[in-house]
Structures are given as C-alpha cells and as structure tokens.
Amino acid sequence: MFAGLDLDCGHFLGVHTEQALGRGLIHEVDVNNALTNTIAVQMRLGMFDGERLGGEFGNLGSRDVCNPTHQQLALEAARQGIVLLKNRGSLLPLSIRSHRTVAVIGPNSNATVTMIGNYAGVACAYTSPLQGIRRYARAIHQEGCIGVACEGVQGFGKVEAAARVAKASRGPTVLVLISGGPIDVSFAKNDPQISAILWVGYPGQPGGAAIADILFGTNNPGGKLPMTWYPQGYVERVPMTIMDMRANPFTGYPGLTVPYAGPHALKNSSVMSNGLKIEHANCDELIIPVYIDVKNTGTLDGILSLLLFSFPPPGIWATNKQLIGFEKVHVAV
C-alpha cells in the first residue's frame, strides 16, 4: 500500500491485511485511503448508479456485440497482431497446391477459450487453429505426439517437444506459439527442421482463422514483438532487481537490451523505405515533421510498422538509440 497499490487482483490483501494491522505494519487510515481511491474509481465507472440494465448500455446484447462489423474487426486485429519470427528459405506462405494435407499437432491445435486469455468476456464464436487450417487444406490432427514417432513423448509437456515433431515430419514444420508472454525458443530458431515460427499472442475468438490466413498467404504478417524476448540462460544469470539497461563491463552485467532477432518478411512481400525528409531543423520546436517514402516491391499487400530512432552525436552521454516516433501504414503492391 505504501508503494501506491490500492487494489490487489489476487487474494494477498484479503488474507494478510488484518494481520498487518494487528502488528502495526499498517494503520486503519492506510486501509481507508486505499478503499477511498478504489471506490472513487468504481463510482466514476457508474457501478453505484443503480440497476445496470437501466443505464446507457444496459440493453446491449449479443446482437450488438456480435454483429459482422465487430467480428471483422476482431479478425483484423488478430491478423495484425501476429509476428513472424522465422521464415527460413521463405517457406511461408504455404502453397495450397503443394500443401494439400498438413498435420496440426499440439495442445492448442484445436484451442478455443485459450485464445482469448484471462481478461476477456464471452466470445461470440470461436474459430480454432484446426478449423481455420481446414478451410485451406486437409488436416490430420493430434493434440500431442502420439502416433508421430516422438520417441516416447506422450504430449507437449515442454515446448521443446516440437523439435521431435519436426524430426519426425516428412515436410517442413511451422511452430505456432500461443502465449501471453515471451518464450525461449532458441531451440526452434536454430533448428533447421523448423522452417518458420509464428507468435500469435492471444489472438481472440477468430484466432484460428487469422493464423490460417497468415500461413497460406491470404494476409501478410506485419506485427512486432511488444516485449523483449530473453533466452532462459540470460534470465537465470541476471537478477530481476537490477533494471539497468546498459551493460557494465566492470561487473559483467550484460544489460537488458538483448531482443529477439526478427521479424522476417514473407517471400511475397518486400518493403523498401527511403527518401527521408525533415521539414525543418529548428530545435526550438518540440515537434519536427518527418516524411519517409515507403514502397512495396513485392507481390503481396502488407502492413508495415515504421519506427523512427534517434542517435546522439559521438561523445555525448545519452541514450544509445531512442524510439521517437512510429506509425503503422498499409503498403499496397
């Protein structure tokens, strides 16, 4: 509470607050202040305005939420959020003619509720990865390694089991990651039998359709990782209590700027950016307009996230590289 935490989303405060009061670690006024802040926010949200059905949004139902416009928006959000981490030999997108039959394997291969995470309401309808892929090709489905020569592994207890699937496969393997956070996928990144890696996060109710659209080239992935991905060995030797971004050669501290290398572009899309133009260089202004010419030299439309970085002059002790602007743009062929 002394650090500014007025609300605990778990059970900790409910279990330990009374004991902390008895030991004098906190006082009643501290609890009252936290409750005041929490209830004030609830009041602003209208939670004390009486029966919810009588409010502005009380009569909204599934017909309002699940209309075609909203469902299409959910699908587009899922497509734009997918990140292509690896695409060795430009395997993706898959050809419908060459890949008429695919094996869809893993505990999330037919996932539904998993795709919306744990901060979501009631979904209108789900499209699992298996269902999405079956719109493009014949699918052979297994939730684990049973029956695909995985040498005794009877399920996906670890992500590394995907490497055994790749070894048993007669064709190229694509690893699709459904997760809310980073995963150490060094084994897959360095495995030549795993040709491509997609991170889809929690793609929501139409996640399976979005995954299939990316796999078979109906849409071009343009997402970027929203967090830094560290290998497990790095995490094990760096204390999480040290937040220094830069490495310290005197102590051996490696710093925190070790992102996953990627993402990679699909073979049907190639984006070239050049022609940087700055309108003026008056440093008295806080905003300097910058214009960049972007051209799609491939054969597939795509979405590009333009990131603008600044670098300090040599000898100036400042941030080595700083993101100062970004914009997502659609680049047509």
Domain with CATH 3.40.50.1700 in the chain: 62-215
pLDDT in the model for residue 174: 94
Closest CA to 206 of 316, 35, 73: 73
pLDDT in the model for residue 142: 86
Q: What mean pLDDT comes out for the span 142-146?
A: 68
Q: Residue 32: pLDDT band by 50, 70, 90 thresholds? A: very high
User: Who contacts 274 (Cβ-Cβ below 8 Å, separation ≥6)?
Assistant: 292, 293, 295
pTM, to two decimals: 0.77
Residue 148 has pLDDT above 60, yes or no: no
Q: What mean pLDDT comes out for the span 85-91?
A: 88
CA 6 to chain centre: 28
What are 127's two structure tokens? 């499209």
Q: Tell me the percentage of the chain whose pLDDT exceeds 70.
A: 86
The Cα–Cα gap between 148 and 165 comes to 7
* Residue 118 burial by Cβ neighbours in a 10 Å radius (0-12, 13-18, 19+): exposed
Whether CATH 3.40.710.10 fits 269-333: no
H helices of the chain, where?
A: 12-22, 28-44, 62-65, 68-81, 129-133, 161-168, 186-189, 207-215, 232-237
Domain with CATH 2.60.40.10 in the chain: 269-333
CATH number of 62-215: 3.40.50.1700
Q: What mean pLDDT comes out for the span 147-175?
A: 66
Q: What mean pLDDT comes out for the span 312-330?
A: 81
**Strand, helix or coil at 272?**
strand
Q: How many residues does the chain have?
A: 333
Q: What mean pLDDT comes out for the span 172-197?
A: 89
Q: What mean pLDDT comes out for the span 75-95?
A: 91
User: pLDDT tens, 236-295?
Assistant: 878 778 878 778 888 888 877 655 544 554 444 555 556 666 666 566 666 777 888 888
Residue 151 has pLDDT above 60, yes or no: no
